[in-house]
Structure 1
Amino acid sequence: MTTFLPKEVQQDLDTARIAALRKTSRLRVDSDAMTFPVLRMWQGGFAVEAALAPSLRGHVDLYDGARHLAQCLIIASEEEAGEMRYEFKWSTEAHETAPLDFYRAPDAPVALLGKG
């Protein structure tokens, strides 16, 4: 059995679904000083609203609110149901501190007091 919906009804359903995703998602992608809300994200990529985003490509930063999640290299995958989908070529998790190049003992002092 197949289901057929008129084109206008399908467009209205897609618009309502995208509006609901936009309200619930805190994710955003920054590219060249431009910011776009991310509708959803999965293991290998993410989707943004097709009407808002140009054909993004290259290096972008992903954020959850103000928290930097990752730096990514992306390519445009496909446009479907009002969403533009992008896939990661690589994604590197962002860290709040720089990585250490030495071993720090768990019981090491935080600071040393001077003599004087």
Structure 2
Amino acid sequence: MSTFLSEEVLAGLEAARKRDRKRNGRMLVEADGKTYRILSFWDGGFELDAETAPHLRGFVDLYDRGQHMYQCLIVASGEENGRMCYEFKRLTAIQERPPRDFAPERDDRIALPRPSA
């Protein structure tokens, strides 16, 4: 039995894999008012489809199913197997509230009533 596949079959399989990755990808990157679907995401960066992805550089926002997750500083690191790779220079998680700039007061009284104001 031959293990050889024609170039047309290989191209069709790769197109189906790419279409499936785009459909199953839930993360998006937004840069300059445009959004791009992330094919894979890891601690040090992410990958986009090389056909549609520009050479992004600078601040971008990452979304997971519409929820703003990260603001990051990125640089394009190269293209490999039809995927454009980007590396994080800075990755900051988005907080729901602004950070406190003071220490909260502790009220350690357990048995005594609080003084009335």
TM class by shorter chain equals 0.7 to 0.9
Higher radius of gyration, 1 or 2:
2
Q: Deviations over 1:8-46 (max 9, x none)?
A: 444433322221111111100000101101111011000
Q: For residue 45 of structure 1, what is the aligned residue in structure 2?
A: 45
Distance (whole Å) between structure 1 residues aligned to residue 17 and residue 43 of structure 2: 21
* Aligned positions, number: 106
Q: For residue 62 of structure 1, what is the aligned residue in structure 2?
A: 62
- Secondary structure of 1:61's counterpart equals strand
Distance (whole Å) between structure 2 residues aligned to residue 52 and residue 106 of structure 1: 54
Distance (whole Å) between structure 2 residues aligned to residue 27 and residue 49 of structure 1: 13
- Secondary structure of 1:71's counterpart equals strand
Distance (whole Å) between structure 1 residues aligned to residue 73 and residue 4 of structure 2: 38
Q: For residue 24 of structure 1, what is the aligned residue in structure 2?
A: 24
Q: For residue 35 of structure 2, what is the aligned residue in structure 1?
A: 35
**Between the two proteins, what is the percent identity of the paired residues?**
47
Q: Could you tell me the TM-score, scaled by structure 2's length?
A: 0.77
Q: Which runs of 5+ in 2 are unaligned?
A: 108-117
